[in-house]
Structure 1
Amino acid sequence: MHFHAYKKLRNGWRASVLAAIGDEAPAAPISRSALEIERYCAGSLDWDNAYGGLKPLVDCLVVVSARNSDGLGLVEDDSPKFMPEASRVFQLPARRGAGTR
């Protein structure tokens, strides 16, 4: 994916996360975290695509850095040091067109 397209995608996720948390952001980044995702969809993705598709979302959760200026600072980092377990993904049924973007 071209980096401009990826930045646009990441900004879309950033806006969605901001809308979802409102004023509920932590005062400081969470230093150890686990991530659970509920993906509502008419059809399931295979697991490598489901997990690969999380990258833009996770990128906007971390602290701002030189490589990632779109971070919201909700979690310290997405490395195993700060997220010791892999993200959990639940693929739940939804009518076509009514699922997660």
Structure 2
Amino acid sequence: MRIISFTLPKPFPLLNHSIGQSRFALTRMRRQMARSVAAEAAHLRPAEPFQRAHVLIERYSAGTPDKDGLYGGAKFLVDALTTPRLLNVRTEGARQRVKNKRGLGFVVDDGPAHMQLEVRAVKCRLCEQRTVVTITEVVA
């Protein structure tokens, strides 16, 4: 069983922050999240992505968010942990599309067959805010 753990310097943005944003702003938020995960954990990436994993995300912040905003806000972070995959092209000559194109390859997919997700909110002082991500391989 392998365990990967890393800390992001800031708490991830909540769902309320992204509601009503333009698609360009959301793309910028996705890119920023992928860059921050890559900066902190690129050297921890496994050679092969975990087939099954338990992902624990702990958001340390001064306030305590509601549960749906907490899980919704973790989406960009979870997407950054997955593996990019080419989608099927339905019509000849169509542009090739990629699922999770900003994924860094820690876990195969974020579906329930591959990932058990647990997100926790931890109240702390303003100077201690951060996000801690722990990925534990689940061996069947």
Question: TM bucket by the smaller chain?
Answer: 0.7 to 0.9
- The structure with the largest strand share of the pair is 2
Alignment match of 1:27 (pick from 47, 54, 59)? 47
In terms of mean alpha carbon deviation, does 43-52 or 6-15 score higher? 6-15
1:40 aligns with 2:50: no
Alignment match of 2:35 (pick from 15, 18, 21)? 15
State, as a whole percentage, how many aligned pairs show the same letter.
36
Give the Cα–Cα distance (whole angstroms) in 1 for the partners of residues 84 and 22 of structure 2.
21
- State the number of aligned residues: 99
TM-score by length of 2: 0.64
Q: Deviations over 1:33-83 (max 9, x none)?
A: 111011111110000000011100011111113132111111100001111
Q: Which blocks of at least 5 consecutive residues in structure 1 are unaligned?
A: none
Alignment match of 1:75 (pick from 91, 97, 107)? 107
Partner of 1:40, secondary structure, is strand
Partner of 1:23, secondary structure, is helix
TM-score by length of 1: 0.86
How far off is 1:23 after superposition? 1.4
Give the Cα–Cα distance (whole angstroms) in 1 for the partners of residues 25 and 67 of structure 2.
23
Q: Which blocks of at least 5 consecutive residues in structure 2 are unaligned?
A: 1-20, 86-97, 132-140
